[in-house]
Structure 1
Amino acid sequence: MTDPLIELRDATKRFPGSGGGIHTAVAHLDLQVAAGEFVAVVGPTGCGKSTTLSLVSGLEPASSGRTLVHGKDVRGIPDGVGYMFQQDAVLPWKSVLDNVALGPRLRGATKAAAREQAAAWVTKVGLAGFEGYYPHQLSGGMRKRVALAQTLVNEPEIILMDEPFSALDVQTRQLMQDELLRVWSGTGAAVIFVTHDLEEAIVLADRVVVMTASPATVCGDFPVGLARPRAVEEVRLTAEFREIYREIWETLRDQVEAARAQGASRVA
């Protein structure tokens, strides 16, 4: 057994709540992710999935417990982390090429070298010919391709993705799922992918982690034994996919119902 690349040990995160109280977003969270592993995280709305990404990225420190990358406590943003948010960070005044080149430039690459790296990734995500376009000239799916290239151009060791495709229509979302699997394959990067869509989690991931209603902790960790490479639309039609879905949904449904009960009690 090799040591995990990412590890959360009994991690708890508290925030100031309304009315001067304390809100516990995640509690006693244990999670391990190996290098090259794709882990999807699902759970009820507002349960703390995004907070988990913040702990791994170093954007938020744990209130108690530990967050480790390469066996070392996270104190600030670790090297080699790429983060793709729900809302893209595409700069409207920069072209596609210059948006993707920004990361290498900030890491010290010359303008020529950064643009060369960016051009390669623009091609990899299927935007060859659009290098000189600006964000307002792109569709939502094309902007997501730019954001994906921005995330991967620095060749991160860890990729954190917070519902990156949730705003897309169904057809475009499926195309982006295939695109993500294609460009991630062979990189060796570990991925933690947060989503509300259980189907999306299964077609993408090696494991699906289910979180409880708030405060979140892990209540289920399910291997996804679907062969790679995967074509996401074909995978959804298989008996294996349906069986995995039923197994995970039994656990996830209980947590969704618990979250609804929590919300109803707060309103009452």
Structure 2
Amino acid sequence: MTDKPADPLIEIRGATKRFRSAGGVHTAVRDLTMTVGRGEFVAVAGPTGCGKSTTLSLVSGLELATEGETRVRGQLVNGIPAGVGYMFQNDAILPWRTVLDNVAMGPRYRGASKAEARDRARAWVEKVGLAGFESYYPHQLSGGMRKRVALAQTLVNEPSILLMDEPFSALDVQTRALMQDELLRLWSGTGAAVIFVTHDLEEAIVLADRVVVMTCSPATVKGSFTVPLERPRHVEEIRLTTEFLEIYKEIWESLRQEVDKTRERGARRVA
């Protein structure tokens, strides 16, 4: 396990989030406390439906804590903080725009001229390996190519905080590994803090500096584990190392207990 960063960029302090629903009030996260340092890659893993995505919503300002608080750069979050990029499980690519115009949207909304936005977009399209596909439309792209567009859309704005909500979960195994490598390559050297939500522990370990394990719903932090694997990393090779297997076993023992509790709850509801 590890201590919190000395200079946290993101701080969630004793946060509880409740939502009203037809059945009453649902508590998504409870007394949640976690920090992320500048340039740190943190993966958040936990059972299905435990509240991992709510954690991202608190950082992004899309949701405010019912109790407790969230701070970015020391400032209380009461709206969307500057410098936040958000990559969702389902991409936000507009079907009537080309690859280039989809990537250029962010700079345009932030005041860049059309020419400047397209120049920046073209550079990022090339960085994500889609040079030559600038004039293609989303329906002409494979799933992996669409994810590359979504990644370029997010990174073209040079975010200092990158929030990722299971962005590669819908991809096949081989394409997913390629996108994991691509993310590490593009993130390296940017200094951006990353919170990456995933239900896949292997993915969490190969990507992150630290893995935060969440309890079953309502979620709180159960444990925080440093990943002692050197960078740069190649995800397919690193999975075969003794170091990877050792940290996997350690974290899985913590996560497995929460997964079992979630399964037991589901079985009781069905019964």
Give me the TM-score of the superposition, normalised by structure 2. Answer: 0.97
Q: How far did residue 261 of structure 1 move? A: 1.4
Mapped partners of 2:106, 2:185: distance in 1: 21
* Conservation of the 8 A alpha-carbon contact between 2:40 and 2:209: yes
Aligned equivalent of 1:250, options 250, 253, 261? 253
Partner of 2:146: 143
2:17 pairs with 1:9: no
User: Residues 88-127 of structure 1: matches in 2 within 5 Å?
Assistant: 88-127=91-130
SS at match of 2:8: coil
CA–CA distance in 2 between the matches of 1:211 and 1:266? 22
Code of the residue aligned with 1:8 in structure 2: it is I
Residue number in structure 2 paired with 1:57: 60
Shift in Å, 1:231:
0.4
Partners in 1 of 2:44 and 2:151 — Cα distance?
Answer: 19
Alignment of 1:185-224 (within 5 A): 185-224=188-227
Offset of residue 241 of structure 1: 0.2
Partner of residue 70, structure 1: 73
Question: Matches of 1:137 and 1:212 in 2, distance apart?
Answer: 41
Aligned match of 1:36: 39
Aligned: 1:82 with 2:85: yes
Alpha-carbon shift at residue 3 of structure 1 (Å): 2.6
Aligned AA (1:180): L
C-alpha distance in 1, partners of 2:232/2:223? Answer: 25
Residue matched to 1:134: 137
CA drift at 1:136: 0.5
Structure 1, gaps ≥5 residues long? none
Unaligned runs of 5+ residues in structure 2 are none
The normalised TM-score by structure 1 is: 0.98
Structure 1 position 95, deviation (Å): 0.5
CA distance in 2, matches of 1:225, 1:61: 34
Matched, 1:228 2:192: no
Q: Could you tell me how far apart the structure 2 residues matched to 1:69 and 1:223 are?
A: 22
Shift of 1:144: 0.1
Aligned residues: 267
SS of equivalent to 1:47: coil
Q: Quote the RMSD (CA, aligned, Å).
A: 0.8
> What is the Cα deviation at residue 262 of structure 1?
1.6
SS of equivalent to 1:112:
helix
Deviations 1:150-170 (CA, angstroms, capped at 9, x unpaired): 000000000000000000000
1:5 partner SS:
strand
Cα distance, 1:2 vs structure 2: 4.1
| Structure 1 residue 263, shift from structure 2 partner | 1.6
Identity, in percent, stands at 76
- Paired AA for residue 63 in structure 2: E
Partner of 1:165: 168
* 1:260 CA displacement: 1.1
Q: Distance in 1 between matches of 2:16 and 2:6?
A: 25
